[in-house]
Structure 1
Amino acid sequence: MTEQHSGFPRRDAEGRIRTLGDLLGVSLAGLVIGVLAVVLFDFAFASFGAGEFGQANGWLAVILPAWLYWEDFRAWEFGAARVVAALAAGAAGVTAGLVAAGLAAGLPPLLSGGLGAAGFTLAYAVVWFPGVRWLARRTG
C-alpha cells in the first residue's frame, strides 16, 4: 500500500487511516477540541445570562470524532463489512458512552456528557478499526 499523503493521520492509497494509534490520536484530539468549544460556548451564554455555566450538553463534543469516523467509513469500499463493523462499533460506542455518562449522572451535563462522548469515542475506535479489517478479509 502506498501512502496517500504525508499528513496526520497517515492514510493508505484508498484514504483509510492506517493505524489504530492514528485513529485514536486524531479522534481524541477532536474530542478535546469539541469539549473546549462546548465549554467556550457555554461560558459565553452563561456570561450573557442565558443559563448557568455547565448546563450545555457535553455530548456535542463528539461531533469531530464522529466526522472522522464517517470519513474513514466512506474510504472503505462499498460492502457488508463496513456496515457491520460500523453498526457494531456504534453499538459499543453508544453503550460505553451511556455507561460513562450514567456513572457521572450527578455531575453537570457538560461534564457527564463530555465523559459520555469520551466513552463513545474510545469504544468506537477500538471496535471499528480491527473490526472492519477483520470483516473485510473474511468477506473480500
Structure 2
Amino acid sequence: MAAPSGEAADKPRIETLGQLIGTVLAYVVMGAIALAVVDLLFVMVAGGDFGRISGWVAAVPSVFVFTEQFRRYEGGSRWAVVIIGVVLGLGAGIASTLLLPPTWPSLATGGVGGLVAALAYSVLWYAGIKIYGEERP
C-alpha cells in the first residue's frame, strides 16, 4: 500500500489556539537562539558588543507557521484577517518595546517585541479565521 502523499501526511495540522501559540512560541525561541549564535559569532570575529543585532529577526521563522495556516483557508476574508492581524500585532509588539528599559540591548527588546507581535497575531488570526474563514476541502 502506498503512503499517503501531500502536506497532511507530513505533519499534523494545527487545530487549537494552544497548538498555534505553542508552535509560534517554539519558532520564535528557535529564531532567538539562532540569532544569538549569529550575533556571538560576529562579536567573536569582528569585535564589538553582544546584543546589538535587532531581535525582531527572531520572529521571522514564525512566518512559516502563518503561511501554512493561510494556505489552509480560501476566500477573501483571510486577507482581511491577515491585514488586521499584522497591523494590530505589530502595534502590540512596538508598544511592548516602548515599555522596556532603554538600557536593554536591541537583541532583547526586539526579541520581546517580535514575540509579542507573533503571539498577538496568533490570537487575532485564530479568532478571525474561526469566525470568517473558509477552510479548503
TM-score by length of 1: 0.83
Among 103, 106, 114, the alignment partner of 2:111 is 114
Query: Does the 8 Å CA contact 2:21/2:122 hold for their aligned counterparts?
Result: yes
- Aligned twin of 1:29: 26
Cα deviation, residue 6, structure 1: 7.8
Among 59, 78, 84, the alignment partner of 1:82 is 78
- Which string of whole-angstrom CA distances, capped at 9 and with x for unpartnered residues, describes residues 105-124 of structure 1? 51110000000011111100
- Aligned twin of 1:52: 49
Unaligned runs of 5+ in 2: 1-7
Among 121, 128, 138, the alignment partner of 2:125 is 128
The AA in structure 1 aligned to 2:28 is: L
Task: State the aligned residue count.
Answer: 126
CA RMSD of aligned residues (A): 1.6
Question: Higher RCO, 1 or 2 (CA under 8 Å, sep at least 6)?
Answer: 2
Decide which moves more: 41-50 or 126-135.
41-50
The AA in structure 2 aligned to 1:80 is: G
Query: Does the 8 Å CA contact 2:52/2:106 hold for their aligned counterparts?
Result: yes
Decide which moves more: 41-50 or 125-134.
41-50
Identity rate of aligned residues, in percent?
A: 33
Residue 91 (structure 1) aligned with residue 87 (structure 2): yes
Cα deviation, residue 99, structure 1: 0.8
- Which string of whole-angstrom CA distances, capped at 9 and with x for unpartnered residues, describes residues 25-65 of structure 1? 11100000000011111111111124310101100001111
Hey, which bits of structure 1, 4+ residues long, moved more than 4 A? none
